[in-house]
Structure 1
Amino acid sequence: MSATRLLVLGVVRGYGRAHGYLIGNDLMSWGAGEWANVKWGSIYHALKQLTKDGHLLDHAVPPGRTDYEITPRGDAEHGRLLRDALRRPETRPDLLAAGLALLPSLTRADAVGLLEQRLAALETRRAAARAQAEGWRGPAHVAELHGLWEHAAAGGADWTRGLLDRLRGGAYPMAGEPGSPGDPGSWGRLKLE
């Protein structure tokens, strides 16, 4: 899965209709170039591919600008990608980062449910890494990899528990709640730097 694809769909969905420069400017101002390896070229490539795949509609706006609008198919793809980014722990952090950037697109109950799945997967991963380390019979230094994986899973589980606590406590306006930036077309009222 591509973090850029998720982020582009999320920004277009958030604004309701947006042009490539606005999308790119927002993502770059969020630092997505650092945490999701988003580049200007990858944004425009994603826009073209998402349009070709029927996830976005393009609208020519004189003089020479193209605006994009999410389709029902694109909204479903956004939801699928976002849910996968939050529920599945991956080695690379870019997908989780993209999911967190778009977290308010979900209802509070959905976000909590997905993060509970993530927590369970991380606990399973931590136990598996511990078992691998304890049963390791190869070169001793290679066992450090299993220790690293156990430590990473434990840290991810601790962080996920904290986010779950914050969400359960009412942190962040989520989709359907007053002031949420997660509803389609709601970003028009936001002042994004």
Structure 2
Amino acid sequence: MSATRLLVLGIVRGYGRAHGYRIGNDLLSWGADEWANVKWGSIYHALRSLTDGGFLLDHNDVPGRTEYELTERGEAEYLKLLRDALRRPQPRPDFLGAALAMLPSLPRAEAVALLRKRLEALEAARDKAHAQVEALVDPPHVQELFGLWEHNAAGSAEWTRGLIERLEAGAYPMAGDPGSPGRPGSWHALRFPPYPPRDE
């Protein structure tokens, strides 16, 4: 699964129609070049690939500027990628980061159910790593590797538990809630602040 693919589909969906520069500008304003390794080249590659695959429809109403719109197939692919990214822990953080950026696209109850599955998987990974730490005899230094896995899974489980609690308490306008940015084409009024300055 590609985090860039999920992000590009999500931004096009959010605006209803969007051109490549707007998509890239939004992603860079979120710092996605750092946490998802998104680059201008990867954005335009994703747009071409998604258009060729029938997930996006391109419009050339303005000379020199192509705008993109989700097809029905694109909507289905977007929701599949979003659900998978929330439900299944991955070694890389960019998939979860992309899912969190698009979280309001899902109804609250569905997001919570997916996160509960994620929590179960993380707790199982934590327990497995703990058992490996306890069982390992030789070479002893490999305990540090299993200990790292246990620590990471435990921390991720704690964070996931907290997000579930926040969502259940009504945090964030989710799909179907008043004022939610999760409805297709609802982003026209959003104004994303510039990403905080970073040391070059």
What interval of TM-score do these two structures reach, taking the shorter chain for normalisation?
A: over 0.9
Residue equivalent to 1:176: 176
Which whole-Å deviations, capped at 9, do the CAs of 1:41-88 have from their partners, x for residues lacking one? 000000000001100000113221100000010000000000011111
SS in 1 for 2:73: helix
Residue equivalent to 2:16: 16
SS in 1 for 2:60: strand
Residue equivalent to 1:136: 136
Which whole-Å deviations, capped at 9, do the CAs of 1:139-180 have from their partners, x for residues lacking one? 111111000000000000000011001000000000111010
Q: Distance in 2 between matches of 1:62 and 1:188?
A: 19
Residue equivalent to 1:191: 191
Normalising by structure 2, what TM-score? 0.95
Q: Distance in 2 between matches of 1:192 and 1:121?
A: 33
Letter of the 2:79 partner, please give it: G
Q: Distance in 2 between matches of 1:13 and 1:40?
A: 19
Q: Distance in 2 between matches of 1:173 and 1:22?
A: 24
Q: Distance in 1 between matches of 2:26 and 2:88?
A: 26
Residue equivalent to 2:46: 46
- 1:37-186 matched pairs, under 5 angstroms: 37-186=37-186
Q: Distance in 1 between matches of 2:4 and 2:149?
A: 26
SS in 2 for 1:104: helix
- Structure 1 residue 30: Cα displacement: 0.7
- Structure 1 residue 192: Cα displacement: 2.8
Q: Distance in 1 between matches of 2:21 and 2:44?
A: 9
- Structure 1 residue 133: Cα displacement: 1.1
Q: Distance in 1 between matches of 2:179 and 2:35?
A: 26
Structure 2 gap ranges (5+): 194-200
Greater CA deviation, 91-100 or 132-141? 132-141
Q: Distance in 1 between matches of 2:8 and 2:190?
A: 17
Q: Distance in 2 between matches of 1:191 and 1:120?
A: 36
Residue equivalent to 1:27: 27
Q: Distance in 2 between matches of 1:89 and 1:157?
A: 10
Q: Distance in 1 between matches of 2:109 and 2:102?
A: 15
Which whole-Å deviations, capped at 9, do the CAs of 1:101-135 have from their partners, x for residues lacking one? 00001000111000000000000000100111111
Letter of the 1:75 partner, please give it: E
Identity %: 70
Misfit runs of 4+, over 4 Å: none
Q: Considering only aligned residues, what root-mean-square deviation do their CA atoms show, in Å?
A: 0.8
